[in-house]
A and B are shown apart, each in its own frame.
Chain A
Amino acid sequence: MSEKFQYAIETEALGRSFQTYKKPEGLINSVKGLWNRETIEKVALQKTNLKIEPGKIIGLVGSNGAGKTTLLKLLSGLIAPTTGYAKVLGYEPFQRDPQFLRRISLLLGQKNQLWWDITPLDSYALLAKIYDLDEIKAAKRVQELAQILNCKHVLETQLRRLSLGERMKMEIIGSLLHEPDVLFLDEPTIGLDIVAQETIRHFLSAYVKNKGPTVILTSHYMDDIASLADRLLLISKGSLVYDGTVQGFVANAELIQTVTYKIVNQPEYKEEVKKADLNEFLVQLTQKGQIENIKIEETDFEDVIHSFLQKESRLL
């Protein structure tokens, strides 16, 4: 990064609401809707205050419709805020200053951003022109990134002919070609098999260590978040409900542990016990008889987040 900022990303009461209209069920209401529509306002993101230091990887987690993508779109300048403001690298994103756009990248895992009808190599050559890069250096960089991602063999095949995993690798190369200072990754591993997920996760981890961009990452795969994020933001119903480390979140969560045990001359039992009550449970267990076998399963981050999202979904 050329300038030094205390915060790469800073928001103050940043919020966004949308106008939509209510469509009651039925054909009659469709006809009525020609002249009379009841508009409703939907708050996609409540007023949000956020400060993110340069070089940090932020995992943004929430259930569907929680406001994750809205936050990414606000920070990348795709949509205008309805309240507050955001500063990214000192720029107001929605102004869409070309200097700002040259320094960020938004990767949308569910959308193709490279050109469908041409080869990735042609797409990268065009991106080099769009970002005003040295074309020889850009071509060299493509080869390096493709080598690491093990996908050099598909660089000259039209994007439309590639598999989902290959396309995602191509998209990642495209999003990193101009070496952005801030990287917004929206579901970069969605729909990929475990091997492809692992490859991309390792690649991103190494890239971030090497180049040090600020990253905001959303993913439904908690392994992505657990292995990459320095900081976790949990978002629910448009509000930030947790801002801290992954470890901190797990430590504060009401953990449930599964205890499988067998007492001599009795069948095997499996019980779920709150972590806080575990000691007392074990004391009581020893009083029941001689324990032949016992296994305590630790709850991992995936389980904790899963239970959190389930709870939040029920509240929606």
Chain B
Amino acid sequence: MSFTAFYKRNLGFYKLAIASNLEYRMNFFMDALLQPSITSIVEMVLWMAIFKGAQATTIGGFDQNSYLAYALWATFIARATVNWTYEFKMIEEIDQGSINGLLVRPMSYYEYYLSQLLGYKSITTGFSLLFPIGIILATGLPTQWDRFPAAMLLVFYYLFFVYSISFCIASLAFFFNKVQSLTVSKNLAMWLVTGELFPLDLMPDYLRKIFLMLPFSSGVYVPIGFLTGRIGWEFLWHGFASVTVGIIFFSALGAFLWQKGMRSYAGTGA
């Protein structure tokens, strides 16, 4: 198989995700803009209330503006680095047998949804980031713009890690059929360990160290902490390294589960 064929095919999947999502305009605007905007406003108000209640100018060594910038970015970046849509779709396809129509095509299921996830995230994130960028520019909340490309690169790389976990969970549907609750549990845990709920530097020191060692922190805390000036370049490099290890681990696990699952797959439902 030539690289050109591989590239063209995956570009096709990438564009498919964009076209499919833009087909439903209302849902697209809600998903890309309204939902994260509401969440970020709630979180920012919450931080204002915390500072007012604490009657302190800093918490954990950072002032209110620093937390507001973190909350604003974290909501949007967390949405960019979570994968509900395609994970649910994959589980449902395996459970209901509609995966059959894809398995008879000369392509891998892994690449099919990975490229779609990247396409979907490109269009929704590209659009939704206009909101925090606009707010930051208007309010002057702390953000180091020269760090923006590197932070976004880590976010993009982290998507491969997220997808490799999704692929493992979806493969479990071969054995247990309905495993959506695992997706929900995983995403709830991610809420904490990525640093979406609050910055990891507010955690007890031993937990903070553990979480920073794991690749999950590269989903929110590391890119946002780096972008808002809470942490330096060394955390970013460590983020790339830990995400790489995570991708290798979960890809190997996913390949194993997939092969075992396909052996037992009954193809029912279609």
Instruction: List the one stretch of B104-112, B131-139, B144-152, B237-245 in contact with chain A.
Output: B104-112
| B13 partner residues in chain A, CB cutoff 8 A | 126
* B106 and A122 contact, CB distance less than 8 A: no
Q: Which of A103-152 contact B (CB under 8 A)?
A: 104-106, 108, 110-113, 115, 117-118, 122, 125-126, 129-132
Q: Which of B12-31 contact A (CB under 8 A)?
A: 12-13, 16, 19-20, 23-24
Query: Can you name the residue of chain B whose Cβ is closest to the Cβ of A82?
Result: B263
Picked from B24, B101, B105, the residue with its CB within 8 Å of the CB of A101 is B105
* A126 and B23 contact, CB distance less than 8 A: no
| A106 partner residues in chain B, CB cutoff 8 A | 100-101, 104
| B2 partner residues in chain A, CB cutoff 8 A | 132
* A131 and B100 contact, CB distance less than 8 A: no
| B24 partner residues in chain A, CB cutoff 8 A | 117
* A118 and B100 contact, CB distance less than 8 A: no
Picked from B106, B265, B270, the residue with its CB within 8 Å of the CB of A130 is B106
Q: How far is the CB of B105 from chain A (nearest CB, A)?
A: 5
Picked from A73, A98, A105, the residue with its CB within 8 Å of the CB of B100 is A73
Interface: A18 (CB within 8 A): yes
| A76 partner residues in chain B, CB cutoff 8 A | 104
Q: How far is the CB of B20 from chain A (nearest CB, A)?
A: 4
Contact mask for chain A residues 44-88; partner B; CB cutoff 8 A; 1 contact, 0 none: 000000000000000000000000000001001111100000000
Give the bracket for the number of chain B residues in contact with chain A.
20 to 34
Query: Can you name the residue of chain B whose Cβ is closest to the Cβ of A18?
Result: B266
| B1 partner residues in chain A, CB cutoff 8 A | 98, 132
| B104 partner residues in chain A, CB cutoff 8 A | 76-78, 101, 104-106
Picked from B16, B98, B265, the residue with its CB within 8 Å of the CB of A111 is B98
| B19 partner residues in chain A, CB cutoff 8 A | 117-118, 122
Interface: A102 (CB within 8 A): yes
| A118 partner residues in chain B, CB cutoff 8 A | 16, 19-20, 23
| A77 partner residues in chain B, CB cutoff 8 A | 103-104
Measured between alpha carbons, how far is A125 from B13 in the docked complex, in Å? 11
| A99 partner residues in chain B, CB cutoff 8 A | 106
| A132 partner residues in chain B, CB cutoff 8 A | 1-2, 5, 8-9, 106
| B8 partner residues in chain A, CB cutoff 8 A | 129, 132
* B101 and A80 contact, CB distance less than 8 A: no
User: Provided the pairs A73-B267, A79-B266 are in contact, do residues A158 and B23 lie with their beta carbons within 8 angstroms?
Assistant: yes
Contact mask for chain B residues 91-119; partner A; CB cutoff 8 A; 1 contact, 0 none: 00000011011011111000000000000
* B12 and A131 contact, CB distance less than 8 A: no
* A113 and B101 contact, CB distance less than 8 A: yes
* B12 and A115 contact, CB distance less than 8 A: no
Measured between alpha carbons, how far is A108 from B102 in the docked complex, in Å? 12
Q: How far is the CB of B62 from chain A (nearest CB, A)?
A: 44
Measured between alpha carbons, how far is A105 from B104 in the docked complex, in Å? 7
Interface: A96 (CB within 8 A): yes
* A111 and B9 contact, CB distance less than 8 A: no
| A78 partner residues in chain B, CB cutoff 8 A | 100, 103-104, 265, 267
Contacts A78-B100, A101-B104, A108-B270 given; 9 further ones with Cβ under 8 A? A104-B104, A111-B97, A111-B101, A115-B20, A118-B16, A122-B16, A130-B9, A130-B12, A131-B106
Nearest first, the 8 A-B pairs at minimum CB distance are A113-B101, A98-B106, A101-B106, A129-B12, A117-B20, A132-B5, A106-B104, A111-B270
Q: List 21 A-B contacts (CB under 8 A).
A: A76-B104, A79-B265, A98-B106, A101-B105, A102-B106, A106-B104, A108-B101, A111-B270, A112-B101, A113-B101, A115-B20, A117-B23, A118-B16, A118-B20, A126-B13, A126-B16, A129-B5, A130-B9, A131-B106, A132-B1, A132-B9
